Amino acid sequence: MTTDTSPTSARLSIQAIRPLRTLDPDGPQEDLAWLDEAIGDARVVAIGENAHYNRESYQLRHRLTRYLVEQHGFGAYAMESGFVEGWLADDWVRGGQGRLGHVLANGMTSLMGLWTEMRAHLEWMRQHNLDAARPVGFYGIDLSGSNISLLPGLDAVIAYLAQADPEFEVDPSMRETAAAFAAPSAFSLSQSLAAYGQLPGERRDALTAGLAELAARMEGRCLDYRQRTTADTYERAQRALRLTVTIDDNVRALARGDRESLFFNRDAAIADTVEWILRREDRIVLAAHNGHIQRWPTLWPGTPPAAKMGMHLADRIGEDYLVIGITNGTGQTLNTSADFYAGKLFTDLEPPRPGSLDALMAASSDVPFATDLRRLPPADTEAVRSVTQQRLGTLYSDVSPLDAYDAIVHLPQVTAAEPDGAALADSPHEVQQAISQWTQ
């Protein structure tokens, strides 16, 4: 295989390609040995995805996680899902009671847990933990309530204060206001924003002021609260409250037409959560969209460049942060148009645009493969350096791949993940209806 760096036919040399024999998490692991040198001593290994809910992306993350846990002692799987909701999934993988369908539907947000591939991942974590000297924990890193509802975080804080400070009563009007625009699922986001916009300004302001007062109370009484409960439960409640404050900030910004603050605030907050996890765990597998993990601003059409989680983590922990981006060829991908909310969850994925990172990877091999961008032959380095765009779902964003990623895994064909019946049975009606429309 030769290297041709012309825009329409560029491809990597055979020396740069590390074929993956399988995506099956139960398969042999010999073809993953390239990870040993690639990750080095990194404490956070981020594994991206081109779009949510693809079967192959779930399988790849599951397979790489097994390898990193079994061969390198990673102790946490941290996922782009709600922080508070993740406590339920963490309890289950550590041996807790309850139905897995309920955990998949309620222990993960933004529809992330509704798929059989995610079921298999959690089942493996639970089985591994049965006799592991060091259990692997599950963490959500994202804003709770599918990024718009304050109720999960606020309820967690209220429950904590009932233990730590039983004589103190949180103003019930705060929860009433938060409930007025709560989102049962990701399908309710537009209705929730509309409901928030209809609230009188004084109710919105009172909610914001109440959250600030709770934050001050939690900070000022931290020593007493830690003693009355435990440091762990205090810190979880404190993180939940900080993320809830961020959601409130974002909803206020959206109500005044400010989308820019949302992009900045969310990624800074989830980077804070990853750092919080790092104070508890030695090494973390971090699973999130390419647009969050990359060390490069995501440039969506019509939006300003905003610092992403990966940029924050690279700034804070340096070489302890390693990024594996994922590119796709053809198949099916998440539908980012308004049709998604009508049950058309996936759309056909066209061949990647010539000159894009995805096109370079697609031209290089017709089987799944990995390439370590830091150890490329000179001609391959120049081929990657010539790329200035990447595909994220069906959209394209500017990128410098050598700055954004340390390695790339290419998936030539991607398909829709398989809905999990038990998870759907425990999901809100609107989710059941949308999945039913899609599968008909």
pLDDT score, position 259 = 87
- DSSP assignment letter at 6: S
Comparing CA positions, the residue from 74, 52, 203 lying closest to residue 142 is 52
Asked whether residue 134 is domain-assigned, the answer is: yes
Query: Same domain for 276 and 178?
Result: no
pLDDT at position 9: 53
Last residue of a domain, one of 240, 266, 292: 266
Residue 244 lies in a domain: yes
Lowest mean pLDDT among 65-69, 94-98, 185-189: 185-189
- Assign 75 to helix, strand or coil: coil
Kindly report, residue by residue over 120-157, the tens digit of the pLDDT.
999 999 999 999 999 999 999 999 998 999 999 999 99
Is residue 304 within 8 A of residue 260, CB to CB? The reply is yes
The domain of 182 spans 150-266
pLDDT score for 330? 97
Handedness of CA 21, 25, 29, 35 (dihedral sign): positive
Which amino acid appears at position 415 of this protein? T
pLDDT digits (tens, 9 = 90+) for 179-194: 999 999 989 999 999 9
Residue 311, domain CATH: 3.40.1660.10
β-pairing verdict for 76-82 and 284-287:
parallel
d(CA 87, CA 233): 11
Q: Which of 12-26, 287-301, 356-370, 406-420 has the lowest mean pLDDT?
A: 287-301
Does residue 101 sit in the same domain as residue 169? no
Q: Which helix (DSSP H) or strand (DSSP E) does residue 197 occupy?
A: helix 189-197
Roughly how many angstroms between the first and final C-alpha of the chain, as a whole number? 44
Name the pLDDT band for 5 (thresholds 50, 70, 90).
very low
Alpha helices in 256-325 (DSSP H): 260-278, 290-293, 309-317
pTM, two decimal places: 0.95
> How confident is residue 337, by pLDDT bands cut at 50, 70 and 90?
confident
Q: Which two tokens stand for residue 219?
A: 């900070």
Q: Are 255 and 295 found together in one domain?
A: no
Span of 67-71, 183-187, 288-292, 396-400 with lowest mean pLDDT: 183-187
Beta-carbon count within 10 A of 21 CB: 13
